[in-house]
Amino acid sequence: MLIRCVIVEDEPLARNLLEQYIQKVPYLALVQSFANPLEALDFLHNNSVDVLISDIQMPELTGISLLKVLSSKPLIILTTAFPEYALEGYELDVMDYILKPITFERFLQSIEKAKGRLQAVKQVVVPDVSVGKSFIFVKDRTKLVKINLDDIIYVEGLKDYIIIYTTTKRIVPLQTLKSLETQLPADRFIRIHNSYIVSFDAIETIDKEKVQIQPLTYPTGTPPKTSLPISDTYRKAFKDFIEKKQIG
């Protein structure tokens, strides 16, 4: 299981320390690190992550205020030097609360707790692959369509809808790329751009700025892309994803 993390911390030393801690843990991937909580808020409105690690005391927006305005919340780990904020944090369903200075041992304890929660959720929502089931359902107009995960090559996000490119056809559900991302297993699919999620199995070559995927041919319509861009926002998480795949 690869756990995708975002850091929100205005203090450079504390932010760098958390980044180093994440790099030490094999199953963690740092998607983005923010000094400005308003920039983090904009990112989280449009992107799905597993864990948010946020300081509480920040100039533009406190960590508590950030949680209150987030519509879709990942698991939350709050950090601060002030223990009096703990009660309010727990009332907002914060998973853990770490006092500064943060040791690696305490950080790892919190991350292991997050890993346990995510694994428990995954056991409930992911199909039983032990009996050969590996699929999702998406809504296409008035009906639910079953899609085998093995057939998905890549997904393109286009504002209020997405296009799922499979080995045989296009499917156009009326949903966001962010919502579909939560349905796809993180060990098989990776977001590489604000507009693209790609299947690891479909990648043929990787360049610095793009991935080359297997060519598809459909009877009608515009041919699917064979090259997808990797944006700066997702480059680090994608690199970690590929490295962990090689090790695994």
Contact 196, 155 (CB under 8 A): yes
Cβ-Cβ contacts under 8 Å for 128 (sequence gap 6 or more): none
Q: Which of 73-82, 189-198, 219-228 has the highest mean pLDDT?
A: 189-198
Of 109, 125, 141, the last residue of a domain is 125
Query: With 50 as the cut, is the pLDDT of residue 123 above it?
Result: no
- Confidence band (pLDDT; 50, 70, 90) for 121? low
pTM of the model: 0.56
Query: Where a domain ends, among 75, 100, 125?
Result: 125
What are the pLDDT digits (tens) for 38-96? Answer: 999 888 887 888 899 999 888 777 777 888 888 778 899 999 887 665 545 445 668 88
Question: Rounded to whole angstroms, how far apart are CA atoms 195 and 159?
Answer: 9
Same domain, 229 and 162: yes
Please report which confidence band the pLDDT of residue 109 belongs to, taking 50, 70 and 90 as the band edges: very high
Query: Both 99 and 167 in a single domain?
Result: no
Q: Return all residues near 45 (Cβ < 8 A) that are at least 6 apart.
A: 70, 71
Give the separation between CA 216 and CA 233, rounded to whole angstroms: 27
How many CB atoms neighbour CB 159 within 10 A? Answer: 8
Same-domain pairing of 158 and 74: no
* pLDDT at residue number 150: 92
- What's the CATH code of the domain at 214? 2.40.50.1020
Residue 238 CA to residue 229 CA, distance in Å, equals: 12
The number of folded domains in the chain is 2
137 shares a domain with 70: no
- Range in 96-100, 119-123, 186-190, 242-246 with the lowest mean pLDDT: 119-123
The residue range of the domain holding 84 is 3-125
Question: Residue 158 contacts by C-beta under 8 Å, 6 or more apart in sequence?
Answer: 195
- Residue 40 phi, psi dihedral angles, 5° rounding: -65, -40
* Domain termination site, one of 125, 157, 172: 125
Reading the block at residue 121, the tokens are 């959720």
Q: CATH number for the domain including 37?
A: 3.40.50.2300
